[in-house]
């Protein structure tokens, strides 16, 4: 199982309901020590920051064409804590309900993310945003550039 580093970030202007985007950087070092890198980004007409954080992780994982050991780095506690604090397990067990707080938001993307994770072994790592982490800064630039770009897509789940 190859090891992949996946760095992700999401952005939304006028969150919620403004334009948004995501950015992801995939890195893989082959057996010869050669670094291979792929960047992904897309923008949406109207979305939320949390949806873009999830989309960045989804896009990165869906880009992998074989099972991998993935270290996923994100500045989103919403994303990393869902797995590291096992919120997602309880949400699924409780049919996407959060007790008295009502239904979980973004169920469509959480379900898509769970499917994208299935073939892989994924470790979620939190990094402080806007703190000089090079790959996180790159992902932020990818996300904000996508949000400010042309040809924005429609976020069907919003």
Annotated binding site for Mg(2+): 9, 53, 75, 140
Q: Which of 9, 20, 21, 23 is catalytic?
A: 9
Q: Which of 20, 21, 43, 75 is catalytic?
A: 75
Q: Which of 60, 120, 140, 155 is catalytic?
A: 140
From CA 113, how far away is CA 133, in angstroms rounded? 24
Q: Which of 10, 20, 23, 60 is catalytic?
A: 10
User: Which has the closest alpha carbon to 158: 83, 41, 10, 50?
Assistant: 50
Alpha-carbon Rg of the chain, whole angstroms? Answer: 15
Q: Which of 21, 23, 53, 60 is catalytic?
A: 53
Tokens of 33: 């020590």
**Which residues contribute to the annotated binding site?**
9, 53, 75, 140
From CA 27, how far away is CA 19, in angstroms rounded? 28
Strand, helix or coil for residue 59: helix
Is residue 148 annotated as a catalytic residue, yes or no? no
Is residue 118 annotated as a catalytic residue, yes or no? no
Is residue 10 annotated as a catalytic residue, yes or no? yes
Is residue 135 annotated as a catalytic residue, yes or no? no
Provide the annotated active-site residues: 9-10, 53, 75, 130, 140
């Amino acid at each position: 199982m190859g090891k992949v580093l996946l760095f992700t970030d999401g952005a939304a202007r006028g969150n919620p309901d403004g334009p948004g985007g995501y950015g992801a950087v995939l890195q893989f070092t082959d057996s010869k020590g050669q670094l291979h890198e792929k960047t992904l980004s897309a923008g949406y007409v109207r979305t939320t920051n949390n949806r873009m954080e999830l989309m960045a992780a989804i896009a990165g994982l869906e880009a992998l064409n074989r099972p991998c050991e993935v270290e996923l780095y994100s500045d989103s506690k919403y994303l990393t804590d869902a797995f590291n604090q096992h919120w997602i397990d309880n949400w699924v067990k409780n049919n996407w309900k959060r007790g008295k707080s009502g239904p979980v938001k973004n169920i469509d993307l959480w379900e898509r993310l769970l499917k994208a994770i299935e073939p892989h072994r994924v470790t979620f790592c939190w990094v402080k945003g806007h703190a000089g982490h090079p790959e996180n800064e790159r992902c932020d630039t990818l996300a904000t550039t996508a949000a400010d770009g042309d040809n924005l897509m429609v976020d069907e789940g919003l």
